C-alpha cells in the first residue's frame, strides 16, 4: 500500500515542476520607463525578458509595424539600460521586440517627449579669428554642441563648434567678417537648433614692415602688427601666389619682429600676414631678393685620398657648403664637404675614384651651385676593399634581427609640398605600402605611429596601428587613409618617446624607422628620447630616413640621433628613391672607423658590395641589435679584407 501511494504522488510532483517551468518559459517581458522625458536626453529603461540575448528594446513612433524600429539597445541579462529620446517632441512608444517572428513586440510603454530650449549669452560682436566666449543654458545632452553658423543655414549646416561639456564654451570666430548666428544644436534628429543669438564678426587689420631688398639665402626681420590669433603666420611668398601657397614662414606667436629665412632664388617676392585658419592675407609688403655670387678655387689636381685646401668667397649663409663631386653630377650630389661657416680656406678630402671632378660652392637650402671649378683626381695611394658577410636570416625584418618593427611617419604640413610634381605625403604613403607588402613579412610584430595629420598647430602624435602581427591589408588601408595637415607641428622626440609604450612587453630586438622631411618643432629632445628607450630596457635600433632634406645641419643632427640609437641615417633626395631607402633601413649596416678614432670613414651593408678603403688599420662596428664590435681589420692595396658576423 505504501508503495502504491508513492507511485500515485510522483505524477502530481512532476506536473507541479512542469507548470513552474512552463510559467517561466512563457512569461511575458515587462518594461518600466519614465512617462515623460526631454528631447535628446538619455533615460533609464528596466525590463524582465525572455532570456534571448538578441531581443531588443527601442523607442519608436506610434503606428509603426513591429518590424520597424528606432534607436535601440539589446535586452541583455542585466535588465537595465539607457535609451536616447528623439530630438523632436511628441508621444512615442518604448517597445520590447522579440528576436523572432519579424521582431514581434512583446510589451510596450507610452512615453511623452517634451521640447527643450536653450539660451545663449554672448557679446554682440567679435573680431575675425578671435575667441568668442559663450555662456549657455540648455539640456546639456551628450553630444549637444554650440556653433557659429551662417545666417539662414540649415540645422545640419554648422561652422566652428564646441560641445556643451563646459560652461562657458569658447569657439574661434570665422575669419571672414559679416553677420553670423550662434546656435545650440541637439545631438539627435538632424542636429535640431533649440536656441540662437546673433553675432557680428568684425574685420581685422595688420601691417608688415621689412627692408625693401635682401640678399638671397639669408634671414630678414619683419616687424608686424595684427590680431595674432592662433596659427597666424608671416611668410615670404612668390609675387601673385594664391593665399594658400606660401614659402618660408614664422608664426606670429613668437612676437615682433619675426625672423624669416629668405629664399635662395632671386626675384620679386611679397611678405604676407596670413590668418591661421583660412590662410587669408590681411597685410603684405614687397620684397626684392637679390642674387648672390661666389667664387671657389683649389689645386688643378690632387692625389686620390689626399687632403687639400679650397679657398672661397660667398654669402656664407646658414648651411652653405663647399664640396668635391664627379664632374657633371646633379646639384644634390656631394662627397667630402665643409660648411662655409668654418671659414676660408676649407679642407676637403679627395675621393678614391680617379678622373674629372668639380669643386662647388652650394647653398644649403635649395642646393644652388653658386660657383664651380674643375679639379682632376689622379693616382694616389692604391685602395683595397672590405667585405662584411654573415648569416642573418632572410627578409627585411629578419635580416635586421627585429623582434618588432615600428614605423613613424611625418604627416605635417611640409609633407604637402611637391617633389617631381607629386605631394611628398603621397610618395611616402606609396613607399610605406610597398614596404608592408614586400620587405616586411606578414606576421612580423608591427606598429605604425603618425604625427601632424590630426590637428593644426599641434604637437599631437597618434598610434594608428597598435602592436600586432602585421596584417598587410589592414596596414595598407590605414596608410592610404593618412592625410597631411597644413601648419601641423613636428613632434619627433615625443613620437620616439611614445615607442616605449607602443612596444611595451616586446621581447627581443626592436627596429624603429622614422620617415620625416623636417626638423623638430615641439621643443623635444630626440637624443634623450632615444636614450630613454634604452634605459627602459629595449634593445633598440633607430633608423632615420630624411626625405628632401636640404639643410646640411639638419642632416648632421639626424645622423647624430641615428648613431645614438645604434642605427643609420639615410638621405633621400628624389621621389623614386624613398621606397628603396625605407627598405634599406631594415637591412644590417656596418660602420668603418680609423683605428683609435670615432670618425666614420665608410659604411656598407652586411652581405652587400665591398667598400673601398685606403690601406691601413680599421675597426668595424655592425649595427645589429645590440650593435657588435667586430674588432680590427687591416686593408691592403688591391686586396679584399673580409670579416664575418656570427
pLDDT in tens, 497-549: 999 999 988 877 888 999 999 889 888 999 999 999 888 888 888 999 998 88
Picking from 233, 255, 290, the residue at the C-terminal end of a domain is 290
Question: Does 132 lie in the same domain as 100?
Answer: no
pLDDT tens readout for residues 145-180: 999 999 999 999 999 999 999 999 999 999 999 999
302-321 mean pLDDT: 92
In 569-623, the DSSP E strands lie at 569-572, 589-594, 600-605, 611-613, 616-622
Per-residue pLDDT at 14? 46
Cβ atoms of 222 and 260 closer than 8 Å: yes
Q: Torsion-angle region of residue 183: left (phi > 0), alpha (psi -120 to 50) or beta?
A: beta
Residue 71 inside a domain? The answer is: yes
Same domain, 109 and 127: no
Domain membership flag for residue 601: no
Same domain (yes/no): 46, 148:
no
State the pLDDT confidence band at 258, using cuts at 50, 70 and 90. very high
Q: Check whether residue 109 and residue 129 sit in a common domain.
A: no
Q: Identify the three-state secondary structure at position 424.
A: helix
- Shared domain for 76 and 110, answered yes or no, is yes
Same domain, 415 and 267: no
55 and 186 assigned to the same domain:
no
Q: Tell me the pLDDT tens digit for each residue of 43-77.
A: 999 999 888 889 999 999 999 999 999 999 999 87
Distances (CA, A) of 305 to 349, 357, 383, 421, 615: 6, 13, 9, 39, 10
CA separation for the pair 485, 459 (Å, rounded): 12
Q: Peptide bond preceding 113: is omega within 30 degrees of 0, i.e. cis?
A: no
- Domain shared by 509 and 482, yes or no: yes
Q: What is the pLDDT of residue 403?
A: 66
What's the chain's average pLDDT? 88
Cα–Cα distance for residue pair 169/518, rounded to 1 Å: 35
Query: How would you class 631 by CB atoms within 10 Å of its CB: exposed for 0-12, middle for 13-18, buried for 19 or more?
Result: exposed
Give the Cβ contact number of residue 496 at 10 Å. 30
327 and 272 within one domain:
no
User: 214 vs 225, 272, 319, 434, CA distance in Å?
Assistant: 21, 16, 18, 45
Q: How far apart are CA 207 and CA 222, in angstroms?
A: 10
- Of 114, 146, 177, at which residue does a domain stop? 114
Residues 123 and 76 in one domain: no
Number of separate domains in the chain: 5
Confidence at residue 554, expressed as pLDDT on a 0 to 100 scale: 85
* Domain contains 389: no
CATH of the domain at 84: 2.60.40.1930
Q: Give the CATH number of the domain where residue 143 resides.
A: 2.60.40.2840
pLDDT at 550: 75
> In 3-state terms, what secondary structure has residue 486?
coil
- The 3-state DSSP class for residue 396 equals helix
Quote the domain boundaries for residue 276. Answer: 207-290
Residue 622 covered by a domain? no
Residue 590 pLDDT > 90? no
Question: Do 476 and 416 have their domain in common?
Answer: yes
For residue range 404-442, list pLDDT tens digits in order.
899 999 999 889 888 888 999 999 999 999 888 887 878
Q: Using CB atoms within 10 A of its CB, is residue 89 exposed (0-12), middle (13-18) or buried (19+)? A: middle
Is residue 603 a part of any domain in this protein? no
Average pLDDT over residues 86-102: 93
In a domain, 137, yes or no: yes
Using the predicted structure, report yes or no on whether residue 343 has a pLDDT greater than 50. Answer: yes
- Looking at residue 164, what is its pLDDT? 94
C-alpha cell at 586: 631594415
Q: Which residues contact 571 (CB under 8 A, 6 or more apart)?
A: 546, 549, 555, 581
* Cα–Cα distance, 181 to 173 (Å, whole number): 11
pLDDT at position 28, please?
A: 63
Q: Is residue 434 part of a domain?
A: yes
Residue 390 in any domain: the answer is: no
Whether pLDDT at 23 is above 50: no
Pairing of strands 418-419, 301-303: unpaired
Span 191-197, average pLDDT: 95
C-alpha cell recorded at residue 415: 609633407
- Say which range, 204-208, 240-244, 442-446, 484-488, has the weakest mean pLDDT: 484-488
pLDDT tier for residue 289 given thresholds of 50, 70 and 90:
very high
Last residue of a domain, one of 273, 290, 307: 290
Instruction: Region of 217 please: left (phi>0), alpha (psi -120 to 50) or beta.
Output: left
Q: Are residues 554 and 413 in the same domain?
A: yes
Amino acid at each position: 500500500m505504501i508503495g502504491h501511494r508513492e507511485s500515485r504522488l510522483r505524477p502530481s510532483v512532476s506536473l507541479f515542476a512542469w507548470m513552474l517551468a512552463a510559467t517561466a518559459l512563457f512569461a511575458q517581458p515587462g518594461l518600466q520607463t519614465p512617462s515623460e522625458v526631454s528631447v535628446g536626453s538619455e533615460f533609464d529603461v528596466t525590463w524582465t525578458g525572455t532570456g534571448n540575448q538578441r531581443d531588443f528594446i527601442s523607442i519608436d513612433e506610434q503606428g509603426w509595424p513591429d518590424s520597424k524600429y528606432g534607436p535601440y539597445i539589446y535586452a541583455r541579462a542585466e535588465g537595465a539600460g539607457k535609451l536616447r529620446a528623439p530630438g523632436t517632441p511628441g508621444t512615442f512608444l518604448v517597445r520590447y521586440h522579440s528576436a523572432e517572428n519579424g521582431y514581434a513586440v512583446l510589451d510596450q510603454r507610452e512615453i511623452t517627449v517634451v521640447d527643450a530650449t536653450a539660451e545663449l549669452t554672448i557679446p554682440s560682436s567679435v573680431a575675425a579669428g578671435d575667441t568668442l566666449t559663450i555662456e549657455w543654458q540648455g539640456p546639456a545632452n551628450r553630444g549637444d554642441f554650440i556653433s557659429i553658423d551662417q545666417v539662414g543655414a540649415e540645422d545640419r549646416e554648422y561652422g566652428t563648434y564646441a560641445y556643451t561639456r563646459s560652461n562657458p564654451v569658447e569657439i574661434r570666430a570665422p575669419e571672414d567678417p559679416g553677420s553670423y548666428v550662434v546656435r545650440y544644436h541637439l545631438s539627435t534628429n538632424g542636429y535640431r537648433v533649440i536656441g540662437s543669438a546673433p553675432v557680428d564678426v568684425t574685420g581685422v587689420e595688420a601691417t608688415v614692415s621689412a627692408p625693401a631688398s635682401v640678399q638671397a639665402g639669408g634671414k630678414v626681420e619683419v616687424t608686424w602688427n595684427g590680431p595674432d590669433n592662433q596659427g597666424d603666420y608671416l611668410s615670404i611668398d612668390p609675387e601673385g601666389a594664391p593665399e594658400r601657397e606660401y614659402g618660408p614662414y614664422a608664426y606670429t606667436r613668437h612676437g615682433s619682429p619675426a625672423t624669416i629665412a629668405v629664399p635662395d632664388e632671386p626675384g620679386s617676392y611679397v611678405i604676407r600676414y596670413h590668418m591661421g585658419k583660412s590662410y587669408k592675407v590681411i597685410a603684405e609688403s614687397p620684397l626684392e631678393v637679390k642674387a648672390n655670387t661666389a667664387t671657389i678655387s683649389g689645386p688643378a689636381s690632387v692625389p686620390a685620398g689626399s687632403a687639400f685646401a679650397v679657398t672661397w668667397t660667398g654669402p656664407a649663409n646658414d648651411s652653405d657648403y663647399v664640396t668635391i663631386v664627379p664632374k657633371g653630377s646633379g646639384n644634390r650630389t656631394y662627397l667630402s664637404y665643409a660648411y662655409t661657416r668654418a671659414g676660408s680656406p676649407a679642407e676637403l678630402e679627395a675621393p678614391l675614384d680617379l678622373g674629372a671632378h668639380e669643386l662647388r660652392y652650394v647653398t644649403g637650402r635649395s642646393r644652388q651651385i653658386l660657383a664651380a671649378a674643375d679639379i682632376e683626381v689622379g693616382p694616389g695611394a692604391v685602395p683595397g676593399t672590405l667585405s662584411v658577410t654573415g648569416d642573418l636570416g632572410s627578409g627585411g625584418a629578419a635580416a635586421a634581427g627585429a623582434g618588432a618593427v615600428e614605423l613613424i611617419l611625418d604627416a605635417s604640413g611640409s609633407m604637402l609640398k611637391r617633389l617631381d610634381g607629386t605631394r611628398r605625403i603621397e610618395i611616402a604613403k606609396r613607399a610605406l605600402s610597398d614596404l608592408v607588402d614586400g620587405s616586411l613579412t606578414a606576421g612580423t610584430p608591427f606598429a605604425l605611429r603618425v604625427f601632424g595629420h590630426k590637428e593644426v598647430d599641434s604637437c599631437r602624435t597618434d598610434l594608428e596601428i597598435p602592436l600586432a602581427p602585421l596584417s598587410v591589408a589592414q596596414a595598407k588601408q590605414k596608410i592610404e587613409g593618412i592625410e597631411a595637415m597644413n601648419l601641423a607641428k613636428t613632434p619627433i622626440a615625443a613620437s620616439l618617446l611614445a615607442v616605449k609604450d607602443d612596444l611595451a612587453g616586446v621581447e627581443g630586438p626592436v627596429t624603429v624607422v622614422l620617415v620625416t622631411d623636417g626638423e623638430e618643432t615641439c621643443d623635444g629632445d630626440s637624443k634623450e628620447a632615444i636614450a630613454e628607450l634604452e634605459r627602459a630596457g629595449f634593445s633598440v635600433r633607430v633608423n632615420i630616413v630624411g626625405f628632401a632634406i636640404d639643410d646640411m645641419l639638419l642632416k648632421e643632427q639626424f645622423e647624430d640621433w641615428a648613431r645614438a640609437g645604434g642605427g643609420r641615417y639615410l638621405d633621400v633626395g628624389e621621389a623614386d628613391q624613398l621606397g628603396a631607402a625605407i627598405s634599406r633601413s631594415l637591412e644590417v649596416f656596418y660602420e668603418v672607423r680609423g683605428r683609435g678614432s670615432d670618425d666614420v670613414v665608410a659604411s656598407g651593408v652586411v652581405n652587400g658590395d665591398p667598400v673601398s678603403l685606403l690601406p691601413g688599420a680599421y675597426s668595424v662596428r655592425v649595427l645589429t641589435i645590440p650593435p657588435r664590435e667586430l674588432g680590427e681589420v687591416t686593408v691592403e692595396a688591391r686586396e679584399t679584407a673580409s670579416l664575418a658576423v656570427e
